[in-house]
């Protein structure tokens, strides 16, 4: 196996590990069921921002995969 291929496989494993972690921590049970103040623009709360953050992190994984892992060798 070439060094480049090994590098990509390691990156691939890292992406999947981070994806699993994101799927787990998206359940913000510590705030679940609590009334939270609407801190942004009067209609966005901290749990909403947290969920948005999870989406941003997931999107970053997608972009990373396309740029650094999925190499078109054909």
Partner 1 sequence: MSTQVIAVLGSLALYMLIIVGIGIYSSRFSRGTMEDFHMGSRDFRTIILFSAVFGANISAVTLAGVPGGAYHVGWVMWPYFASSWAWATPLLFYTVGSRSWVLGQKFGYMTVAEVVGGRWKSPTLAVVISLMLIFYTVPYLMTGLLGAGRTLEALTEGFVTLNVGMVIVASAVLVYLLLGGMRGAAWVNTFQTGIFIVGAVAIFVVIAAALGGPAEATRRVMEDYPELLSRSRMPWQQFFSYGVIVALSPIVFPQLFMRLLTGKDPKTLKQTMCIYPVPAFLMMFLMATVGMWGRTAIPGLEGAESDAILPMLLIQFTPIWMMGLLGAAAFAAMMSTMDSQLLSVTTMIARDFLSRSRLKDASDATMVRISRVLVLVLTLLALVLGFLNPIGIIKIIEFALSGFACMLAPVLAALYWKRCTSQAALWSIVASQVCLWSFEMGLLPASWRFGFLSGLPAIVVGVVVLVAVTYITPVPQDEGTREYFAIFDKTTP
The footprint of partner 1 on residues 2-61 (CB under 8 A) is 5, 8-9, 12, 15, 19, 23-24, 26-27, 29, 32-36, 38, 41-43, 45, 47-48, 51-52, 54-55, 58-59, 61
* Residue 50 phi, psi dihedral angles, 5° rounding: -60, -45
Q: What is the DSSP string of 28-61?
A: -TTTTT----EEETTTEEHHHHHHHHHHHHHHHH
Least Cβ distance, residue 20 to partner 1 (angstroms):
10
Helix then strand then coil, % of the chain, to nearest 5: 65, 5, 30
Which stretches of the chain bind partner 1, using CB under 8 A?
Answer: 5, 8-9, 12, 15, 19, 23-24, 26-27, 29, 32-36, 38, 41-43, 45, 47-48, 51-52, 54-55, 58-59, 61-63, 65-66, 69-74
């Amino acid at each position: 196996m070439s060094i480049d291929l090994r590098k990509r496989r390691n990156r691939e494993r890292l992406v999947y590990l981070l994806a699993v972690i994101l799927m787990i921590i998206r359940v913000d049970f510590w705030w679940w069921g609590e009334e939270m103040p609407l801190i942004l623009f009067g209609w966005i709360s901290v749990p909403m921002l947290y969920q948005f953050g999870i989406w941003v992190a997931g999107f970053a994984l997608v972009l990373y995969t396309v740029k650094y892992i999925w190499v078109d060798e054909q």
